[in-house]
C-alpha cells in the first residue's frame, strides 16, 4: 500500500487500518536494519515494538504533507541511536568494549548463518562511530538515497557522503586484511 493510500485511510477515520498498513509496509525492512546494527534478534524485536508504539502515539500529530517514509525511518533511526548509546554505556559498566561485545555475540549466535566475510563485515561495522554505522547500513544494505538519509538524519548530503566514504574505507581495509590478505 502506498503512503497516499495510507493517508486516505487515516483521514477517513480508519486509523487502526492505516497503522496496520504502515506495519506491513515498513516493519520487515526496519527490523533487518535494526538487526544489522544490534546483532541481537531479541533486542531487534523489542526495539521495533518501541518504534511502532512511538509511531502509533505520534501519528495524530503527523503532518501528512511530509513524507511518511522519512518520518517512520527517522523514528526508527533515533531509537536505534539511543539503543546504541545505551549499549555503549552498558559496555562501560561491564568493562567490555561495545564492539567486542557485538563480536562475541556474533561468534556465539546460533542464528548467524553468514560467511566468514560477513562476520568480519559485521564486526568491522560494530567498531564504527554510531552515526557512521547507521549511515553505512542505510546506504550499503538498504541502498537508500542520500537525499532521504539527509532528511532522516538531519545532516547535509555532503557530510553523509563523507561519512559513508570513511566508513566504507575502514570496513574494506578490515575485510582485505582479514579475508584477502
Partner 1 sequence: MMTDKKDILEDGRLKEPAFQIDRERLDRLNSTLNDIPSMSGARRNFIPQLAPYLALAALFIAVFAGVRLLAGMTAPAEDDIAFTEEDFLLSTLPVGYSLDDAEDFLPATNCSEDEIIEYFVYSGIQVADLIEDF
Closest to partner 1 by CB, 64 or 168: 168
**Contact status: 72 vs partner 1 (CB under 8 A):** no
Stretch of 3-11, 79-87, 145-153, 169-177 contacting partner 1, by CB under 8 A:
169-177
Spatial separation of the C-alpha atoms in residues 113 and 130, rounded to whole Å = 25
A 10 A CB-CB count for 40 gives 20
Contact 21, 5 (CB under 8 A): yes
The CB-of-117 to partner 1 minimum distance in angstroms stands at 6
Binder of partner 1 out of 11, 92, 112, 129 (CB under 8 A)? 112
**Contact status: 12 vs partner 1 (CB under 8 A):** no
Stretch of 52-60, 69-77, 85-93, 152-160 contacting partner 1, by CB under 8 A:
52-60
Contact 130, 81 (CB under 8 A): yes
What is the sign, positive or negative, of the torsion defined by CA atoms of 11, 14, 19, 23? negative
Which of 72, 82, 60 has the alpha carbon at shortest distance from 26? Answer: 72
**Contact status: 141 vs partner 1 (CB under 8 A):** yes
Contact 13, 75 (CB under 8 A): no
**Contact status: 119 vs partner 1 (CB under 8 A):** yes
Binder of partner 1 out of 5, 11, 45, 96 (CB under 8 A)? 45
- The footprint of partner 1 on this chain (CB under 8 A) covers a number of residues equal to 43
Contact 137, 81 (CB under 8 A): no
Closest to partner 1 by CB, 118 or 156: 118
Amino acid at each position: 500500500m502506498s503512503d497516499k493510500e495510507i493517508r486516505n485511510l487515516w483521514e477517513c477515520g480508519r486509523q487502526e487500518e492505516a497503522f496496520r498498513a504502515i506495519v506491513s509496509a515498513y516493519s520487515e525492512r526496519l527490523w533487518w536494519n535494526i538487526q544489522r546494527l544490534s546483532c541481537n534478534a531479541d533486542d531487534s524485536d523489542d526495539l521495533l515494538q518501541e518504534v511502532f508504539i512511538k509511531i502509533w502515539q505520534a501519528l495524530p500529530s503527523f503532518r501528512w504533507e511530509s513524507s511518511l517514509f522519512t518520518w517512520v525511518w527517522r523514528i526508527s533511526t533515533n531509537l536505534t541511536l539511543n539503543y546504541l548509546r545505551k549499549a555503549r554505556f552498558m559496555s562501560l559498566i561491564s568493562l567490555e568494549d561495545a564492539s567486542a561485545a557485538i563480536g562475541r555475540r556474533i561468534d556465539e549466535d546460533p542464528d548467524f548463518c553468514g560467511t566468514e566475510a560477513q562476520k568480519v563485515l559485521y564486526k568491522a561495522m560494530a567498531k564504527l562511530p554510531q552515526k557512521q554505522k547507521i549511515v553505512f547500513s542505510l546506504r550499503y544494505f538498504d541502498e537508500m538515497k542520500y537525499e532521504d538519509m539527509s532528511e532522516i538524519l538531519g545532516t547535509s548530503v555532503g557530510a553523509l557522503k563523507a561519512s559513508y566514504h570513511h566508513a566504507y574505507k575502514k570496513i574494506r581495509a578490515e575485510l582485505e586484511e582479514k579475508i584477502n590478505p
